Amino acid sequence: MDPKLVARGHALHEKYVRQNLNQSLTKTRTESLALMESWVASVALRKHMLAVEAAMIAYAGKPGEDAALWGATGLLHDFDYEKNPTIESHVLAGIPVLAEAGYPAPMLDAIIGHAEYLGLPRETKLAKTLFAVDELCGLLTAVAYVRPTKSLEGIEFSSINKKLKDKAFARAVSRDDIRQGAEQLGVDFQEHVMFVARALEPVLR
């Protein structure tokens, strides 16, 4: 990790997150979607964030968490990426925008935490879940795209696992992050993959 990036990440966390982790979401999904769309023109990137939103909402239903907060975290986690695609700017540019717009600290904490290069520990369920589903959603979207139906409906783990093992397939997707995310979340890997796949069925059609 770049010490300068890590220092910037910690400074960002100190400024916007540390003292405010009891904040709650006050924004509607309509407001969050409008913010995302105002920053992102790429159809592929929009689809990715909608997929992560769906996965986060599905996971929020397990422990009885705030589905609106978890969904907004997924929907906006990469909203600044199109304009700030480098590790020197992605997330670092977006967090102040989200903070000034009134998004709560738990959400900002999770979004900072999904950027491995910033070196922030993921300590909340929200942060761990975002990291666990982010790269996996990228892989599953790619899997859906190459299927005749262009969807994940009826897919089995063996088919997904075959693509996971094929390093040439969706090469930009980090297999290490996918497995590490499941481990940090404390869930069975196969169950995790299939849970997210089922959550994405209505989105990837």
Q: What are phi and psi of 164, to 5 degrees?
A: -60, -40
Say if 175 falls within a structural domain.
yes
Say if 156 falls within a structural domain.
yes
Say what the pLDDT of residue 142 is: 96
Say what the pLDDT of residue 205 is: 77
Say what the pLDDT of residue 26 is: 93
Q: Is residue 20 predicted with pLDDT exceeding 90? A: no
Query: Domain span at residue 164?
Result: 3-200
Q: Is residue 23 predicted with pLDDT exceeding 90? A: no
Say if 74 falls within a structural domain.
yes
Report the domain count for the chain: 1
Secondary structure element (H or E) that encloses residue 51, with its range: helix 43-60
Per-residue confidence at 49, pLDDT binned at 50, 70, 90?
Answer: very high
| Chain Cα centroid distance, residue 145 | 19
CATH no. for residue 78?
1.10.3210
Say if 53 falls within a structural domain.
yes
Q: Is residue 204 predicted with pLDDT exceeding 90? A: no
Global pTM value: 0.95
53-89 residues labelled b (16+ CB within 10 A) or e (exposed):
bbbbbbbbeeeebeebbbbbbbbbbbbbbeebeeeee
Say what the pLDDT of residue 93 is: 96
Say if 38 falls within a structural domain.
yes
Say if 205 falls within a structural domain.
no
Say if 73 falls within a structural domain.
yes
Say what the pLDDT of residue 141 is: 97
Q: Is residue 70 predicted with pLDDT exceeding 80? A: yes
